[in-house]
A and B are shown apart, each in its own frame.
Chain A
Amino acid sequence: MTFTCPAPIAAKDKVLLGHGSGGKLSAELMRELFLPAFANPVLSRLEDQAVLEIGGGRLAFTTDSFVVKPLFFRGGDIGSLAVHGTVNDLAMGGAQPRALSAAFILEEGFPLADLRRVVDSMAQAAKRAGVSIVTGDTKVVERGSGDGVYINTAGIGVVADGVNLSAAHARPGDAVILSGAIGDHGAAILTQREGLELEGALESDSAPLNGLVEAVLAATREVRAMRDPTRGGLASALNEIAAQSGVGIALREEAIAVHAPVRGACEVLGLDPLYVANEGKMIAIVPAEQADLVVRAMRQHPLGAEAAQIGTVGGQAGLVTMRTAFGTTRIVDMLAGDQLPRIC
C-alpha cells in the first residue's frame, strides 16, 4: 500500500468566516499577518489586553468590535455586550476598568429607535460596571454595506500593584477554576437565530466581570492567569493558556456545569457546549493551595455562585484533556473555525 495523498488546500487568498472564530484560523491570522507587521513585545504577549507602564503606574488597554446578530437577544443586546466585552478584557488582566470609547458604524436606514435602545443599554451597562464612556465616533455606511449597527469599544484600566496575570504563567500543579456554567450566551444567540423555541429559559450570561475579579484579587494576589471564555468557548480559552504557558491541562467533565436548557439546545443544534461562547464567565488559574480560597471568593459573588475547580494544570504540554464521567479520557481540541452542526 502506498500512501500518496492529494495535496490539501493550503492556499488561502481570501478571508474566511473561520478567521473570526477564535479558533486555529484566527490564531493563524494573528501569527502570520498581524504579529510580524506590528511586531512589539507588548503585542507578542497575546493577552486579551495590553499592559503598559506609564508614568510609574500600569495601565491596561484593550479594544473589541461587536457584530452580533440578532442585535437584541434574551439577556442582552449588542450595546450591553460591547460594554461588557471590553470591561471583561480589562478585568482579565487584573485591571480596574476606568474609561471606554464607543465607535458606531451605522447602516443607512437603521431605525433610530433601535439605536436609542442600544445606546441606553450601553449607558446602563457602563453604569453597572462602574466605567464612563468618555469618547466616541460615528460613521454611516450605505444601505447594504453594514448589518444595522457595528460597535467598537476600547477601554483603559489600572492594574494594582502586585497583580501580574498572564496566560503564559500557568504552571504544572495549578488549579483551573471556572466561575459558573458554560454555553449560556452562545446557546441563547444560536437558538434565537435559528428560530428555535425550546422549553426552559435560555438567556445570555452577558455581564461585567470586574466585580468578580476584584473579589478574587481581594482574597489573594496569587493568581497566575484569568481568561473569559468568549467566542470559541471554554475549550479554546484553555487551549490558548496551555499553548502560551507550554503546559497541559487536565479537566474533569463532571465538574463543568452546563445548564439543562443549554444542553438541550446544543443537542438539537449538534454543538458541543465546550465550544459555545460565554460573555459572563471567567477562568482563573491559581496555585493549588489558593484554589479553595478563590472558589469561595467567587461563590460569594452573585456572578460566581456556581464556581468550581474544573481541573488542574499538567499532562502533555500544549494538550487539553478531559476525564469523562465514565472514567475515560479524551482530548479537548481547539477548533479550526466555527463549530459546524453535524448532519446526524
Chain B
Amino acid sequence: MRYLDEYRDAGLARALAARIRARVTGSWTLMEICGGQTHTIMRYGLPELLPPGIELVHGPGCPVCVTPLETVDRAIEIAGRPGVIFVSYGDMLRVPGSHSDLFRVKAAGGDVRVAYSPMEALKIARQNPERPVVFFGIGFETTAPANAMAVWQAKREGLRNFSMLVSHVLVPPAIRLILGSPSNRVQGFIAPGHVCSVMGYQEYETLSREFRLPIVVGGFEPVDLLEAIAMLVEQLEEGRAELENQYSRSVTRSGSEPARRIMDEVFEVTSRQWRGIGPIAQSGYRLREEYAAYDAERIFGAGEIQVQEPAECIAALVMQGLKKPVDCPAFGTRCTPEAPMGASMVSSEGACAAYYSYRRHIPEAQG
C-alpha cells in the first residue's frame, strides 16, 4: 500500500492547490460523479483548499444510493424467504426499503451475509447445494465484470442454486442526463477512474465533444482529485473542451478488453430506474436471456413488487449539482445517516451523507 502515500502527500496537495489558485480567473462549477471521489473530497476537506471561484458539486455516482426502492424491497423480500442465503456487499445492508432493511431481515432470522466479491457467494452456493443462494449484483461498470464472471462461472459449473438480483447502472447515460438538462450548471466533469479502467474513456470523449465541455478522468486519492481539478480549470481558463486522463496509472483509452467481453457475454443494456432521479433510458444492465436461469427476479417471481418511489426529496437536485445538501431543510435534522430519507443520504458515499459525516461543522459548507 506504500504506493498510495504519494497521492496523499500534503506538500503535493498544497502545490496543486496553489497551481489552481494561480490559474483561476472565472467561476467554475465542477462535478465528480463517483461516490468514492465524493467521499475523498469530503474526508480530506478539499473544498477548503480551493479558491472561492471553484464550486464542486456531486453527481449520482453512488451505486448504493441510486439502487431503486423497489429493488431494495425485492431484495428484502427474497432475503426473508425460508432457506434462502442472501449475499450482498456490506454497505447495501443498511439501505432502507419501504418498510425494512437487510439488517432487520437478518435480525428476524433471514440468512443475510456480507461478501467482498460475488465469488464468495459462488463458494457458499457450492457448499450449500440444497439451498438457494442469491447475490445482490449492484454497482456501476466497476463491479459488473466480477458479477458477470460469477454468473458465467455458475452456468459453466451447472450450479443450479445460485442466482443474482441484478441492478447495475451505467455512468455515461447519467452524465448525458445532467448535461442535457436545461438547468445544467456543470462546466467540467471529473470522470470516474475505476469505471474508466474497465470501460476506457472513448464514451467520455464523445460526451466531451457533444456538450463542448472539458472532462478529466480522475483517480480517488486527494492528490489525484486536486490534479484533475487543476487540469479542468486550465482547460476552462484556456477555452478548451477536451478529454484528458489524470488517472493514467490505471486507465487506458480502450480499458480492459477481457472485462468488457465477459460483461457483454452475460449482460445486456436496459433502461433503469435511479433512486432519487427517476428512469434513465439505456442506463443499466440486466442478465441476457441465455442466463435467465440465474436471474433471481425470474426465479423468485418477485417481479410484481411495485412501490411508489417516495415523493421527491431534494436528492434529485443534489445529485444533478443543482442544490447543496445543506439547502435541504431536513438535512441533519429529520434526515441523517441513521434515519435517511433520500438516496444521497443512504450510503456513506452519497453526497448528503458525506456532507453530514465530515462537513456539517462548517455552516456555509461549500463544495
Q: Are B341 and A8 in contact (CB under 8 A)?
A: yes
User: Which B residue sits closest to A264, measured CB to CB?
Assistant: B1
Contact A1:B89 (CB < 8 A) given known A16-B107, A327-B14, A344-B142: no
Of the candidate stretches B93-101, B200-208, B259-267, B277-285, the one touching chain A is B93-101
Q: Are A343 and B317 in contact (CB under 8 A)?
A: no
Q: Are B36 and A342 in contact (CB under 8 A)?
A: yes
Q: Are A6 and B341 in contact (CB under 8 A)?
A: yes
Task: Provide the A1-37 mask, 1 if CB < 8 A to any CB of B, else 0.
Answer: 1111110111000111110000010000000000000
Q: Are B107 and A343 in contact (CB under 8 A)?
A: no
List residues of chain B with CB within 8 A of the CB of A3: 313-314, 328-330
- Please tell me if B64 contacts chain A, counting CB pairs below 8 Å: yes
User: Which A residue sits closest to B9, measured CB to CB?
Assistant: A325
A210 nearest CB across to chain B (Å): 34
- Please tell me if A333 contacts chain B, counting CB pairs below 8 Å: yes
Q: Are B339 and A10 in contact (CB under 8 A)?
A: yes
List residues of chain A with CB within 8 A of the CB of B101: 9
Find B361's partner among A269, A316, A325 (CB 8 Å cutoff): A316
Q: Are A337 and B94 in contact (CB under 8 A)?
A: yes
Q: How far is the CA of A342 from the CA of B89 in the complex (A)?
A: 8
Task: Provide the A307-344 mask, 1 if CB < 8 A to any CB of B, else 0.
Answer: 00000000010010100111111110100110011111
- Please tell me if A43 contacts chain B, counting CB pairs below 8 Å: no
Q: Are B43 and A330 in contact (CB under 8 A)?
A: yes
Cβ < 8 Å to B, chain A residues 42-56:
none
Contact A331:B317 (CB < 8 A) given known A341-B89, A341-B116: no
B355 nearest CB across to chain A (Å): 10
- Please tell me if B45 contacts chain A, counting CB pairs below 8 Å: yes
Find A327's partner among B10, B337, B339 (CB 8 Å cutoff): B10
Per the CB 8 Å criterion, the residue count for chain B at the interface is: 72
List residues of chain A with CB within 8 A of the CB of B13: 326
Q: How far is the CA of A18 from the CA of B64 in the complex (A)?
A: 19
Task: Provide the A48-84 mask, 1 if CB < 8 A to any CB of B, else 0.
Answer: 0000000000000000000000000000000000000
Q: Are A330 and B142 in contact (CB under 8 A)?
A: no
Contact A319:B361 (CB < 8 A) given known A8-B340, A342-B39: yes
- Please tell me if A201 contacts chain B, counting CB pairs below 8 Å: no
List residues of chain B with CB within 8 A of the CB of A269: 116
Q: Are B103 and A328 in contact (CB under 8 A)?
A: no
Q: How far is the CA of A3 from the CA of B331 in the complex (A)?
A: 11
Q: Are B89 and A343 in contact (CB under 8 A)?
A: yes
Q: Are A15 and B107 in contact (CB under 8 A)?
A: yes
- Please tell me if B300 contacts chain A, counting CB pairs below 8 Å: no
- The binding surface of chain A is classed by DSSP as loop
Q: Are A333 and B357 in contact (CB under 8 A)?
A: yes
**By CB atoms of chain A within 10 A, which of B34, B114, B348 has the most?**
B348
- Please tell me if A260 contacts chain B, counting CB pairs below 8 Å: yes
Q: Are B96 and A331 in contact (CB under 8 A)?
A: no
Q: How far is the CA of A340 from the CA of B47 in the complex (A)?
A: 26
List residues of chain B with CB within 8 A of the CB of A10: 339
Find B42's partner among A5, A194, A330, A342 (CB 8 Å cutoff): A330
Q: Are A16 and B104 in contact (CB under 8 A)?
A: yes
Q: How far is the CA of A86 from the CA of B361 in the complex (A)?
A: 36
Find A331's partner among B14, B328, B357 (CB 8 Å cutoff): B357
List residues of chain A with CB within 8 A of the CB of B269: none
Q: Are A14 and B107 in contact (CB under 8 A)?
A: yes
- Please tell me if B312 contacts chain A, counting CB pairs below 8 Å: yes
- Please tell me if B311 contacts chain A, counting CB pairs below 8 Å: yes
Q: Are A343 and B64 in contact (CB under 8 A)?
A: yes
Q: Are B107 and A326 in contact (CB under 8 A)?
A: no
**By CB atoms of chain A within 10 A, which of B14, B341, B342 has the most?**
B341
List residues of chain B with CB within 8 A of the CB of A9: 96, 99-101, 104, 339
Q: Are B4 and A5 in contact (CB under 8 A)?
A: no
Find A330's partner among B34, B139, B359 (CB 8 Å cutoff): B359
Q: Are B1 and A263 in contact (CB under 8 A)?
A: yes
User: Which A residue sits closest to B317, measured CB to CB?
Assistant: A1
List residues of chain A with CB within 8 A of the CB of B100: 9
Cβ < 8 Å to B, chain A residues 278-333:
316, 319, 321, 324-331, 333
Contact A328:B104 (CB < 8 A) given known A1-B314, A344-B35: no
Q: Are B341 and A5 in contact (CB under 8 A)?
A: yes
- Please tell me if B143 contacts chain A, counting CB pairs below 8 Å: yes
Cβ < 8 Å to A, chain B residues 182-222:
194, 222
**By CB atoms of chain A within 10 A, which of B63, B116, B143, B310 has the most?**
B116
User: Which A residue sits closest to B314, measured CB to CB?
Assistant: A3
Contact A328:B2 (CB < 8 A) given known A6-B310, A6-B311: no
A139 nearest CB across to chain B (Å): 24
- Please tell me if A267 contacts chain B, counting CB pairs below 8 Å: yes
Q: How far is the CA of A268 from the CA of B312 in the complex (A)?
A: 36
**By CB atoms of chain B within 10 A, which of A5, A331, A337, A342 has the most?**
A5
A33 nearest CB across to chain B (Å): 16
Q: Are B4 and A2 in contact (CB under 8 A)?
A: no
Q: Are B139 and A343 in contact (CB under 8 A)?
A: yes
Q: How far is the CA of A321 from the CA of B358 in the complex (A)?
A: 9
User: Which B residue sits closest to A333, measured CB to CB?
Assistant: B357
Beyond A5-B334, A17-B106, A343-B139, 13 extra complex contacts between A and B, CB < 8 Å = A3-B329, A6-B313, A9-B96, A14-B108, A15-B107, A260-B2, A316-B361, A324-B44, A330-B43, A331-B361, A333-B356, A340-B94, A344-B139
14 A-B residue pairings within 8 Å (CB atoms) = A5-B335, A5-B342, A264-B1, A270-B90, A321-B361, A326-B13, A326-B222, A330-B45, A330-B359, A340-B94, A340-B348, A342-B347, A342-B348, A343-B90
A-side residues, CB < 8 A to B, are 1-6, 8-10, 14-18, 24, 194, 260, 263-264, 267-270, 316, 319, 321, 324-331, 333, 336-337, 340-344
